[in-house]
Amino acid sequence: MRTLFLFFAVCLMAGCASKPEYYVSPAPVSIPKTATFWLDTLDVEVVGKNERFLPDDKVRAALGVDMVNRLLKAGRYATSKDKADYLLDMNIVYTRHIQDSKGGLATLIVDDNKLLVSVDFSYKVAVKKNGTEVLHFSKALYDQVPGGVIGNFEQYKTMGALVTNKSNASVEGFYFSVYSRDIVNDIRNIPTR
C-alpha cells in the first residue's frame, strides 16, 4: 500500500512539474539570450466595440508601443529592422466582454450602464530569420479581470464608474500593460536549443 501511494505521489509531482511544448519549431533552433528582435507585423483584431472604448487603431498602437518599450528596456529590441537578429509577426485577438446592466436600481443612477467586465486575449507570435519562420508560439487567456494590487484598484474604479455614470474605459490601459508584458516575457524566455 505504501509503495502504491509513493508511486501515485511521484506521478502527481511529475505531472505538475512537466510543461507542455510551448514553442513550436520545424527544426531545432538556437536563439541566443542576447538576440535582438524587430516587430515586423502586428495584426490586432478587436471584438466587442462601443463608443466608450478605444477604437481598433488605438488598441493596436497601445499594445505595439508598450511591447516595443518593454523590449527596448530589456535591451532586446534592435535599432533598425536591418540590424535585428530576428523579426516578429504577431496576430492578436482582443475580445471585450461589455455588460449593459440596464434594469434595477443601477438604471435610476446611470444612463449608460456599459462597462468592460472582462477580456479574452489570444496571440500567436512567429519568429523569423531571413524570411523563414524558425519558431512560433501562441497563448489564449479567457475571462481575464484585473488582479493583484493594481488590478484591485482598477476594479474599484470600475465600481465607481457604475455609480458615477462614467465609463471604465481607463481599465484598458491596465490590460494592455499586462498583455504586452506577457508577450515580451514569452519572447525573452524563448529557449535556446
Domain chopping of the chain, boundaries: 20-188
Instruction: Cell 483584431: give the residue.
Output: 45
Tens digit of each residue's pLDDT, the chain (193 residues) = 544 444 444 444 444 333 335 677 777 788 888 999 999 999 999 998 888 888 999 999 999 999 999 999 999 999 999 999 999 999 999 998 887 765 544 454 445 567 777 788 999 999 999 999 999 999 988 876 655 545 555 555 655 555 555 556 677 887 888 889 889 999 988 876 4
DSSP code string of 105-157: HHHHH-S--EEEEEEEEEEEEEEEETTEEEEEEEEEEEEE---HHHHHHHHHH
H or E element that contains 90: strand 86-100
List beta partners, residue 88.
39, 127
pTM score of the predicted model: 0.74
- Quote the radius of gyration of the chain (alpha carbons, Å): 21
